[in-house]
Amino acid sequence: MKYNIKLKNEADIKILRESGKRLARVLQAVAKEVKPGVTTGYLNDFVYKMITDMGDEPAFLNYKPFGAAYPYPGSICISVNDEVVHGIGGDRVLQEGDIVGLDGGVKHKGMISDSAITVAVGKISEEDAELMRVTKEALMAGIHAAVAGNYVNDISKAIEKSIPKKYGVVKILSGHGVGYKVHEEPYVPNFDDGVKGPKLVPGLVLAIEPMVNLGTDEVYLADDGYTFITKDNKKSAHFEHSILITDSKPEILTII
């Protein structure tokens, strides 16, 4: 199978490093705003102001993915509880015990970084805290497997292997290439789909993003055309980093 992969040059990588740092600062700041009584619309507006005040663009705002009926209307994806990804900020008020996925992108000097975290609203259950821990560890397992000479499927297998069988690993959504666009090839499944995929080579930038559910791996698309929700309405967690494949270990771009 032939893949349309665009490797990044040194100039691109320099900009992506800065884009990633800026996004990490945004996520760190908006996470502190997550508390009971806050609306998801407030969080969206907070992110828009912070990114534009830096002189950058929210990468997701007005982005129209393949198959979508209309461009995404938010500056950050905000997904609460059983919402897996791509939730749209609005009037929803966060409650004590909720968990919230914050998935953002920054377009800095034309280069796009992509990262996500899941945040607790006040005090959460041990079950939900464990879900978040497992998902974050799955992300790191995938990153550790992302070394030059390996294949995309090695990342996928590492993610799936790290997740206890009692959880549902979302299969219809995946990681992806990133940099020039929000979504680039190759796609990076979070489970072993039996497809080797392309070889990992220096200059390849990937957004690795496991999505893990407390129950079934099955999800459905809400009427808004963007928000994916767990079929059994149990909670879901999501963590993501943009990484660079190098001659040695992978470099996480979306950290400070």
Q: Residues in the chain with pLDDT < 50?
A: none
Compute the distance between CA of residue 105 and CA of residue 254 in angstroms, rounded to an integer.
Answer: 10
Q: Which of 98, 117, 127, 142 is nearest to 213 (CA)?
A: 127
How much is the pLDDT for 174?
98
Query: Quick one: pLDDT at residue 99?
Result: 98
Question: Would you state the pLDDT for residue 1?
Answer: 76
Beta bridge partners of 117: 102
- pLDDT (0 to 100) of residue 137: 98
Report the alpha-carbon distance of residue 227 to residue 22 in Å, rounded.
25
Q: What would the two tokens of residue 147 be?
A: 């070394």
User: Considering the domain 10-252 in this protein, what is its CATH number?
Assistant: 3.90.230.10
Local structure of 118: helix, strand or coil: strand
Q: What's the first-to-final CA gap in the chain, in angstroms?
A: 37
Which pLDDT score is estimated for 134? 98
Instruction: Please state the pTM of the whole predicted model.
Output: 0.97
| pLDDT attached to residue 24 | 98
pLDDT at 2: 83
* pLDDT tens track for 95-147: 999 999 999 999 999 999 999 999 999 999 999 999 999 999 999 999 999 99
